[in-house]
Every structure is written in C-alpha cells, then in structure tokens.
Amino acid sequence: MEATLSPSPKRIARYAGFSYLFLVITAPLAHIYIPSLILDRANSAITAQNLLANEFLFRVGTLLNVLGLIAFIFTVLFLYELLHPVSERLARLMRTLVLVGIPVAFILAILRMSALLLLKSKVYTSFESNQLENIALMLFRIGDYGSYMEQMFWGLWLFPFGMLVYQSGFIPKFLGVWLIANGVAYVVLSCLFILFPEHLSQVSNFSFPLIVGELWIMLWLVIKGVRDTTGHNVNKT
C-alpha cells in the first residue's frame, strides 16, 4: 500500500496564513464596522431603530463573526501542526488558549443576536417598547464589555505563539518578538478596561503599533511561507 504523503511545512504555513487572512478580514467588519452603523451606546431607541432597519446587515456581521471564529480554529490547528516540532509544550499551550477562548466569543455573539430576537418577538407582551429597547441595548453593551474580557485570551495565546516563532529557526525572530509585544498590548488593554476604563482610548492609540504583529505574521505566512526545516534541531518538551 502506498504511504500517504503529509503536506510540507511550507504548504501548512500557507494554509495557516490564508485561514488567518480570512480572520483578519472578517473580524474588523464583524466587530467594528457593522456595529458602528447600528449601535448608539447612549440611546437605546436609536440602536433599536438601526438594528431593525439594518437587520440583514447585522445578520451578515454575525455570520462573518462565526465564520471568522471557525477560521481561527483552523488557523491554530495549522500553526500547531507547523510549530509543534519546535516545542510540543508551547504548541499545546498555544492551541489550548485559543480553543478555550472560542466558546466565550460564541456566547457574546449569542447575546448580540438575542437583542434582535427581543425586539422582533411578540412574546414579551408584559414589557413596554422602551423597556425592550433598553434591554436590547444592554445585551449589546454586555457584548461590548465581554469583547474586552475576551481580549485577554487573544493576547495570552500570542505569548507561546511568539516564543515558538522566535525559536523556530524558519520564521524571522523579529516576528516572534512582535507577536509577544502584541500579546502584551492585548492583555494590558483588557486589564485597563477592567480597572481604569476611562483611560482606555488614550492607551489604545499608543498601543496600535504593537497590535499589528498578527498582521505581519499572517502576511509572512501567506507570501513567504517558511524555509525548509530539514536539519533544524527541534525540542519535543
């Protein structure tokens, strides 16, 4: 029987890069652009009107969010396949931190979808329309708050990822350093939101150069892939 050939590291890197690219494209649309057209954090009536008037757009944003999360799962699985010869322990930690954070993101998506269900439902007859609007806005705001908490996981997984890249020998070390800095920025922003939310916007502006580390590793994987790993020392610990 002919043995099945495994994909080369270069091909696995490209798979990881393209699934990462899909995530990088869908995440800003689902989490920033589309919500900015609907959500008015100070006015529940306007938010409700925008949501009902742009229902299909909101549903598209939710679908993009879900597809992006699926792409994220594939990304980390491809990265695990690529990087586990460098350090099995770090690769498992990287994979675990992503897979633990994914359910949190799905729960937040369900909360946002519940706002639409609430506004369109005919069941809640005991509530006045303005009460339903306030509850819908609250669900949106909980989703917002949860996103900053979720950011903790999206920062933590970049630590083992960055260390694996740095140690790999087939991806430039500076990308590993940048990924770790990216992870620090996400964790700091998440902690700052919990402790000092009034300072979040100022710190976010300063942290922007750090949080594009993921963009550069994604581009590197898509465009360059990885160098031949034959002969490199690996660490299975």
- CA–CA distance, 222 with 210 (Å, rounded to integer): 20
CA-closest candidate to residue 78, choices 23, 24, 17, 27: 17
Question: How does DSSP classify residue 197?
Answer: G
* pTM confidence score: 0.84
**Phi–psi pair at 235, nearest 5 degrees:** -125, 115
Ranges of each domain in the chain: 9-223
- Reported as a pLDDT band with limits 50, 70 and 90, residue 231 is very low
Question: How does DSSP classify residue 198?
Answer: G
Judge whether residue 35 has pLDDT over 60: yes
What local confidence, expressed as pLDDT, does residue 181 receive?
93
- CA–CA distance, 151 with 201 (Å, rounded to integer): 15
Determine which of 99-103, 106-110, 123-127, 154-158 has the lowest per-residue pLDDT on average: 123-127
